[in-house]
Amino acid sequence: MRSRILCSIMIVCCGVLSAAGSGVHARMSMEFARVTAVLTFEQEGFMGGQGLGTLAADELTHALFLEKKYKVVDRSHVLSVQMKHQIAAPVLETADIQKLGTLLDADFIILGKITRLSDAIPTSQEGEAAKIHIAFRILSTRDAAVVGVVDYQSPCKKNIQEHVKDMIAKMAAKVDIRG
């Protein structure tokens, strides 16, 4: 009888340890996920500050997080570090990229640009559509090597902010960081 009780206790303990072990493994695999930081996108051919660049970076951060393939650094932290250390995109030297990687504990940095390619103004009315191009490069913080590029171009006849959100969502699904 004692041996049966001891055997039952051992089986239960092994099951608990096995379950705990798999939980630890799952947490550890998340710890080793690739960490990515998205900088505010540069914008060209648009009036009114960096609104679209910020929107694109925020949307890409959100979309990459939802993809669950990468850990993404919170955008407010990225902006805080950039301001504190006076590191501004779009022109970054290798040392800047490496420094940002260290400060943000990021393996990759994403630099992007939104460009209006035509003179048409996006509206919901009939007429010529504005041509919008969004591109971003994924850089390794180890050596500033380009490890991925995604770009997308499409005509925009609707609200530009909604169009940028739609474009970024499609682009995020194509991100495959290697390096």
- Strands 146-156, 130-140: pairing is antiparallel
This prediction has a pTM of 0.75
For residue 47, what pLDDT is reported?
58
Q: Where are the beta strands (DSSP E) in the chain?
A: 35-38, 42-44, 71-72, 108-116, 130-140, 146-156
Mean pLDDT (the chain, rounded): 78
Q: Are 153 and 131 in contact (CB under 8 A)?
A: yes
Q: What is the pLDDT of residue 116?
A: 85
For residue 139, pLDDT beyond 90: yes
Query: In whole angstroms, what is the distance from residue 16 CA to residue 58 CA?
Result: 41
pLDDT level of residue 55 (50, 70, 90 thresholds): very high
The more confidently predicted of residues 147 and 4 is 147
